[in-house]
Structure 1
Amino acid sequence: MSLFSLSYDVLNLVAPYLKDKNEKKLAITLFLIITIANVLLVYISYRITEWYALFFNALQHFKMDAAWYQILIFTCLVSFFIIVYMGQLFLTYWLTIRWRKWMTKDYLHKWTSNKVGYIIQNYESNGVDNPDQRIADDINHFTEQTMSIYVGMLGSVVTLMMFSYLLWTLSKQITLPLDGKIITIPGYLFWAALIYSAAGTIVAHKIGKKLSHLNFTQEKYQADFRVGMVNLRSNNATFALQNSEDTERSYILSSFNNVYQNRWKIIWRSTGLALWQSSFGQAGIIFPYLVTLPAYFINKSIGIGGLQEIVVAFTAVQSAMSYLVNNYGIIANWHAILTRLVTFSKALIVCHDLRKSLPLKTYHNEGLEINNLDVRLPNGKKIINCLSMNLNPSEHLIIKGASGVGKSILIQTLAGLSLIASGSVGLPTRNNGNVIFLPQQPYINQGTLMDVVLYPQNYKNSDNSDQEISDALARSGLSHYIADLNKNENWNKVLSNSEKQRIIFSRILLLNPRIVFFDEATSYIDDNDSFTLYNMIIEKFPNISIIISTKSDKFDTFANKILKLKFPGIWELTSV
């Protein structure tokens, strides 16, 4: 990646935050104060470097009053340095956490709006794995490391500017014997520091250049391993019943083996880089003395104070020039995280653009209306060909067919989840729960049972009273849970599969929808209770339309129309 493309990617991630009308004023203010504080810290370090010459020369010439005065000056400089440093540190933390909060909300909104999350998982193939990790972890690491690298690089640049001038000036004191003559090399100390740092940077890059890609790969392997562990925890009952723990363990260990093998590659690279960094740093302690001592013994007017000033200034310049050497591992990891977020950002943009240009057209209609609908699998294979039908309010539809014929794909297409279906679909406006799509496995959210029953509503914004919520539970056959409405439990584990499916009927009673799609949503409830629940919904909302996807004939009595799907792409619509 070139420096230009790297800068472009960083700017694309940083600029939206600085442009946000609610954040930019404070963000820019904090950024400027942090920058000014950084420059001030370098200036104080510059003054402390000058202090070395004054203090050690006072000691060399036994000037006690001057020495004590310099100690007082040093105390003031260090105190001021600590105050500025702590203020800069606090403001950096403040800006970092606000930036992370904004990025998290921004990425979460883009990922969870307009069905983009589903599209990325099922259609987008630009290398976007584990979007949840990119939002939870990568944004955190990116904001922290970006601020850390900015502060470090800014300090290095300002240090280089200030101390290079000092080092160039001090070079005038360096006289070297050459062919019986005493000569002075302009900027001798500066050029020595430059050559030393350049050599260190070249070697560090040679050793560590593959770390960025290895870190990128490690993040992916680590995320895949974590997903496997979460899957094991979530489905441990299934694995225990099927006696498949050994199989699952082998899958997870295979995933961990990728983590393990790639980690060793990182270890070897990092060890080599650390060896060079350590050697380079230790040699840097003696190197300024090696380039200065010959002149010190020739030009005795330099003095111990002057020698100390030269060494400190040389070390500061050499350290500033060696920023890349000393932080190569951190920068490589930051670059890997940057790449992951840039890839994610591009995928989000692509998916939002795809949603704007769908071949499937939608429009407002009082009931369900389908015109010339072609339904395809994500791989493009057509499974329903040119379907046209309509369903008026208060009419009910049964979608029948064998497993794999496309019943669920049809319902997902009507919900707007397909990027490759074509035709047109008319439905009531989906605001305020007018249209509900219910899968076989209901989603049970976190929170109290009250939150679970009201979902996707929020208790604070719901118009339903506590009595209405209790009645909805009772009518759905869950009256024994009314006393637990305010309990915060892991309801996904507490509720049985049939109870989870009953919860969705409680939700329907509280939402007052106009059309409800059931994708085998009563598979865990016995037939008699399923009939009772469906009849309850129809009696409660006489104008509602119910669409039931099923493999059996048991719900035909509800239907005004029956749609039979026959693989591949053939369908038959009959009125009852």
Structure 2
Amino acid sequence: MSMTATSPAAGAANDPLRTGHYRSFLGKTWALTKPYWQSEEKWQAWGLLLVIIALSLGGVYLSVWFNQWYNDFYNTLQNKDAPGFWLQISRFCPVALIYIVVAVANYYLSSMLQIRWRRWLTDVYFERWLKGRAYYLLEVSRDDTDNPDQRIAEDIDSFTTSTLSISLGLLSNLVSLFSFVFILWGLSGPLSFTVAGHAVSIPGYMVWVALLYAIAGSWLTHRVGRKLIKLNFDQQRYEANMRFAMVRARENSERIALYQGEEQEQRNLRQRFHAVWSNFWSIMRVQKNLTAFTSAYGQIAIIFPLVVAAPRYFGGAIQLGGLMQISSAFGQVQGALSWLVDSYSALARWRSVVDRLTTFNDRLDSIDALHQHSNRTQLQQGGGISIRDTQLRLPNEKVLLNIASLTLEPGQHTLINAPSGSGKSVLLRMLAGIWPWWTGQVQRPENVMFLPQLPYLPIDTLRQALAYPQAAEDFDDQRYQQVLQLCKLEPFIGMLDESRHWAQSMSPGEQQRVAIARALLKKPQWLFLDEATSALDIGSEQQLYQVLRQQLPDTTLVSIAHRTTLRAFHQQEWQLAEGRLQAIEPQALPV
């Protein structure tokens, strides 16, 4: 059976989050947004969105009602009309209650839509990150895409929240603008004056004043705050780098303690926090100027319409209610037109999040294309391993190993011996299908298992750690107890259902014994051991190899090791020398 590789172009066509061909910010945002609204959840999503939009429009309608109520209410105050005053209060209370209900429902349904969207998008990114071992290739290729975990955990949350709030806020402001601009036009009346003996009349002058005020404010806001986009982008990266360094120090606490590396770790953490601190100060300085401007802009907007409309009020053209209604309508129009001013900080953060997710997508797209090259190994139901005219390279294209011809037959236990850095571990990674930097012809069986030098132990029950990546229920208690006894892990038999961070609870030797126990559970056709017993003493290592030979008689062993004592458990030996793999005469008979 052959593993068929999908072409990069075909993979791109099926990728719901391919953003690389979009250049504009709106194009990138649309590429990130569109998939969810065309997904299997589209009907629920669109239904929620339409209800939220209806609630938002209802809120605008209530604002229009309140604007008219201002006129009636303040006129009763001016006229000292007590019955009219209480009538207006009685009209206000039920409408205010409806406004509260609408606001609460709007918040609840918006939050529901946001978390549903985030869950769907997170699942997609989990799949993209894990598919084709992108998580591994991002690391080994020394890629500059920093902290994918932070992009999935935090940036997706920020993206969904910001996209909904900004989009709905823009829609609400547009509806408010069209609703109140006609009210303000009718209330403000014409502005008449004489210029050089010519009478000039500007109808609806308050609308034009609001427009000029908002345009000037938006332009100045962008001039003051445009640096926030890059600064917010960098701040996310610096914060994530510091968190990663702290997690890494925690994961390697014992090694750091043995080296007495506390001072060096402190210097490293301080250096990373200095980047956070320095960039935050830059954000503070820009945000200070932006806050000063927007605060002044907002405060002036409170009195500005009163000052402009005051001549008509004092001239008797309008009453107090009309003045307050003009002030309210002007505030609504000016606020809608000044949406950029009020939302600039949020827009800057949103822009940085979109850029981070887009660069992450672009890198995942390139990794997907790279993965196609690692899918060229021919898989077969049985038989041996065949490598022909194969060249292995490093990610920087440096040639590491050339193999003209290598054949391993079933039942022929093989020891591969080579100095460190010669490429023997890369050879196993290529056979495992996780190393894409190679050319040639390779065939291997399907039922294989690879044991690295340091096994992965999930933070879970010991039962699940032994069965990984299969389900713990795939094996019974008797089998778990048996393999633990065979691997000299008897003290852990009573801990099968305990959930721990086993990598910190076990010594390196015990962790390698757990890996051997996994192999005994799964009984693969071929078992590759990459320095898988290097943390054990010679006697324990030989005991485990004897267990493997006895308990897995139908499994072919391929070991990478430096110890010559393992020759007794293998029937042939290969050695790497000067970038080439060659057979040497066996030094001992098989056990």
Q: In which range does the TM-score fall when normalised by the shorter chain?
A: over 0.9
Contact 1:476-1:505 within 8 A present in 2 as well: yes
Question: 1:544 aligned to 546, 555, 560, which one?
Answer: 555
Question: 1:410 aligned to 427, 431, 443, which one?
Answer: 427
Question: 2:463 aligned to 450, 454, 458, which one?
Answer: 450
Question: 1:305 aligned to 321, 325, 331, which one?
Answer: 321
- What CA distance in whole angstroms lies between the structure 1 residues aligned with 2:544 and 2:530? 15
Say if 1:182 and 1:291 are closer, same or farther in 2 by CA, change over 3 A. Answer: farther
Q: Does 1:531 align with 2:542?
A: yes
Q: Secondary structure at the match of 2:355?
A: helix
- What CA distance in whole angstroms lies between the structure 1 residues aligned with 2:547 and 2:329? 84
Alignment of 1:288-303 (within 5 A): 288-298=305-315, 300-303=316-319
Q: Secondary structure at the match of 2:565?
A: coil
Alignment of 1:160-559 (within 5 A): 160-172=177-189, 174-178=190-194, 184-298=201-315, 300-358=316-374, 360-364=376-380, 366=382, 367-429=384-446, 434-459=447-472, 462-559=473-570
- What CA distance in whole angstroms lies between the structure 2 residues aligned with 1:444 and 1:387? 37
Letter in 2 for 1:523: S
- What CA distance in whole angstroms lies between the structure 1 residues aligned with 2:572 and 2:55? 73
Runs of 5+ consecutive residues of structure 1 not aligned to the other structure: none
Question: Over aligned residue pairs, what C-alpha RMSD do you find?
Answer: 1.9
Contact 1:175-1:295 within 8 A present in 2 as well: no
**Identity, % of aligned pairs?**
35
Q: Secondary structure at the match of 2:442?
A: strand
Q: Deviations over 1:72-108 (max 9, x none)?
A: 2211221111111111110111111111111111101
Q: Deviations over 1:376-406 (max 9, x none)?
A: 1111111111342122222211111111111
Cα drift, residue 7 of structure 1 = 1.7
Say if 1:4 and 1:159 are closer, same or farther in 2 by CA, change over 3 A. Answer: farther
Letter in 1 for 2:550: E
- What CA distance in whole angstroms lies between the structure 1 residues aligned with 2:449 and 2:229? 45
* Alignment partner, residue 570 of structure 1: 580
- What CA distance in whole angstroms lies between the structure 2 residues aligned with 1:255 and 1:362? 46
Contact 1:400-1:565 within 8 A present in 2 as well: yes
Cα drift, residue 139 of structure 1 = 0.9
Moved more, 467-476 or 191-200: 467-476
Q: Does 1:158 align with 2:169?
A: no
Contact 1:371-1:388 within 8 A present in 2 as well: yes
* Alignment partner, residue 86 of structure 1: 104
Q: Secondary structure at the match of 1:317?
A: helix
Moved more, 286-295 or 57-66: 57-66
Cα drift, residue 458 of structure 1 = 1.8
- What CA distance in whole angstroms lies between the structure 2 residues aligned with 1:560 and 1:110? 42
* Alignment partner, residue 64 of structure 1: 82
Question: 1:108 aligned to 126, 131, 135, which one?
Answer: 126
Say if 1:124 and 1:354 are closer, same or farther in 2 by CA, change over 3 A. Answer: farther
Letter in 1 for 2:567: D
Q: Secondary structure at the match of 2:529?
A: strand
* Alignment partner, residue 26 of structure 1: 44
- What CA distance in whole angstroms lies between the structure 2 residues aligned with 1:539 and 1:394? 13
Cα drift, residue 175 of structure 1 = 4.4
Letter in 1 for 2:483: A
Q: Secondary structure at the match of 1:530?
A: helix
- What CA distance in whole angstroms lies between the structure 2 residues aligned with 1:19 and 1:39? 25
* Alignment partner, residue 16 of structure 1: 35
- What CA distance in whole angstroms lies between the structure 1 residues aligned with 2:378 and 2:90? 78
Cα drift, residue 442 of structure 1 = 0.9
- What CA distance in whole angstroms lies between the structure 1 residues aligned with 2:181 and 2:430? 66
Cα drift, residue 325 of structure 1 = 1.0
- What CA distance in whole angstroms lies between the structure 2 residues aligned with 1:560 and 1:4? 59
- What CA distance in whole angstroms lies between the structure 1 residues aligned with 2:51 and 2:471? 41
Contact 1:100-1:143 within 8 A present in 2 as well: yes
Letter in 2 for 1:79: L
Q: What count of residue pairs does the alignment treat as equivalent?
A: 563
Q: Deviations over 1:346-392 (max 9, x none)?
A: 21122112222458543325222212221111111111113421222
- What CA distance in whole angstroms lies between the structure 1 residues aligned with 2:486 and 2:520? 9
Letter in 2 for 1:153: L
Q: Secondary structure at the match of 1:573?
A: strand
Q: Secondary structure at the match of 1:402?
A: coil
* Alignment partner, residue 122 of structure 1: 140
Moved more, 418-427 or 193-202: 418-427
Q: Deviations over 1:269-305 (max 9, x none)?
A: 111111111111111111111211122222x141000
- What CA distance in whole angstroms lies between the structure 2 residues aligned with 1:289 and 1:4? 45
Letter in 2 for 1:8: G
Q: Secondary structure at the match of 1:386?
A: strand
Q: Secondary structure at the match of 1:563?
A: strand
Cα drift, residue 193 of structure 1 = 0.7
Question: 1:143 aligned to 160, 183, 193, which one?
Answer: 160
Contact 1:360-1:420 within 8 A present in 2 as well: no
* Alignment partner, residue 69 of structure 2: 51
Letter in 2 for 1:259: V
Say if 1:71 and 1:273 are closer, same or farther in 2 by CA, change over 3 A. Answer: same
- What CA distance in whole angstroms lies between the structure 1 residues aligned with 2:478 and 2:562? 37
Cα drift, residue 181 of structure 1 = 9.6
Q: Deviations over 1:6-57 (max 9, x none)?
A: 2211111111111221x11111111111111111111111111111111211
Contact 2:137-2:367 within 8 A present in 1 as well: yes
Cα drift, residue 524 of structure 1 = 1.0
- What CA distance in whole angstroms lies between the structure 2 residues aligned with 1:357 and 1:187? 67
Q: Deviations over 1:213-248 (max 9, x none)?
A: 111111111111112111222222222222222222
Contact 2:242-2:273 within 8 A present in 1 as well: yes
Runs of 5+ consecutive residues of structure 2 not aligned to the other structure: 1-21, 587-591
Q: Deviations over 1:308-361 (max 9, x none)?
A: 100001001111111111121111111101110111112112211222245854
Letter in 2 for 1:456: P
Q: Deviations over 1:116-139 (max 9, x none)?
A: 1111222374x4111111111111
Contact 1:449-1:486 within 8 A present in 2 as well: yes
Contact 2:129-2:364 within 8 A present in 1 as well: yes
Say if 1:359 and 1:93 are closer, same or farther in 2 by CA, change over 3 A. Answer: closer
